[in-house]
Amino acid sequence: MKNEMPGNKLRTIKYPTWCPGCPDHMILESVERAIKELSREGYKKRDFAMSCGVGCHGKIFDYLNISGTYGLHGRAIPTGIGMKIGNPNLNVLVFAGDGDTYSEGMAHFIHACRFNPDLTLIVFDNQSFSLTTGQATPTSQQGFKTKAEPFGEFNTPLNPVHLALSANASFVARCNARDIEHTKEVIKNAVNHKGFSFVEVIQDCVIFNLDVNHGDKKMYKISDEGYELDRALRLSREFDYNDGNGRIPLGVFYKKHRPSLYEEWPQLKKLKKKGVSWKGLRK
Ligand SMILES: Cc1ncc(C[n+]2csc(CCOP(=O)(O)OP(=O)(O)O)c2C)c(N)n1
């Protein structure tokens, strides 16, 4: 049980210890607004649950007043899938970092795209392992100088949006953390999607990776129509996570319903039919 902030049921009394100006504050605000609006549309606050990775992003566990677990680094996705299997009526939000998801947790990410469990993954992508003082992650730009790589990162960055599309994810989106309202809208859209929804939120790290901050100027919003895979793949290639060239498309790249883990597996179907829920547990 967390201590609720007076006047705001979605916040705990904990004061955020993220650095001043860190876009993580803005992602928290977007998530809060999304849950508030979804609650007005019929979702219940008690049916939201979160699974968090380890890193700066994971601190959202302390500030957002919903139930869940603070997981292991790289293991937020399987923990979230477990929560959903235990109680299929939960709306599970998985909060993870870029290091968390695309380095330690990469296998889980790819297979979640394939398995299509009905949950929402929100990646705080600051292109750096920030909590451990800024080492390069798979999305760091080439040339990124860190204490561990003083001559600069030489590997080419991974493009998670392109990867998710190639791995058959049923919902793929990218947002800018600084655009709170747009991120809120995309998160609402992701929660409403029945299946695995992947929301990549790009941000800078105001202490360790300021270079990616300059990307704001290059960002633009894509239209909300026609979610064809070819268009999504083409758009995903516009930004390669390196600094410099190209524009950065934001919005929902791809959305297509296909049977989720629950609809595919007879054992899970049965569980869902039983109507397992918090309500049931209280009886
Ligand atoms: C298996 C494992 N490897 C490494 C660590 C050390 N570790 C803790 S937090 C962290 C950095 C997290 O980076 P990221 O996931 O990008 O999140 P951020 O801090 O940038 O939000 C690392 C490497 C760990 N706790 N567990």
Question: What domains can you pick out in the chain, each with its CATH number?
Answer: 14-282 (3.40.50.970)
CA of 101 to the centre of ligand 1 (A): 10
* Residue 272, C-beta contacts closer than 8 angstroms, at least 6 positions apart: 88, 262
Whether the per-residue pLDDT at 168 is higher than 60: the answer is yes
Residue listed under structure tokens 């394939």: 114
How far CA 240 is from CA of 61, 91, 244, in Å, comes to 30, 32, 10
**Range 222-251 average pLDDT:** 89
Q: Whose CA is nearest to atom 9 of ligand 1?
A: 55
d(CA 268, CA 84): 10
Question: Is the CB of residue 138 below 6 angstroms from any atom belonging to ligand 1?
Answer: no
Question: Is the CB of residue 57 below 6 angstroms from any atom belonging to ligand 1?
Answer: yes
Strand-pair partners of 5: 8
How far CA 24 is from CA of 13, 62, 212, in Å, comes to 17, 13, 15
Other Cβ atoms less than 10 A from the Cβ of 240: the count is: 17
CA of 9 to the centre of ligand 1 (A): 29
Amino acid 243: pLDDT: 67
Query: By mean pLDDT, which of 40-44, 239-243, 267-271 is the weakest?
Result: 267-271
Strand 197-202 vs strand 8-12: parallel, antiparallel, or unpaired? unpaired
* Residue 268, C-beta contacts closer than 8 angstroms, at least 6 positions apart: 85, 88, 261, 262
Model confidence pLDDT, tens digit, residues 49-108: 999 999 999 999 999 999 999 989 999 999 999 999 888 889 999 999 999 999 999 999
Identity of the residue numbered 111 = H
Confidence of residue 177 (pLDDT cuts 50, 70, 90): very high
Confidence of residue 1 (pLDDT cuts 50, 70, 90): low
CA of 225 to the centre of ligand 1 (A): 37
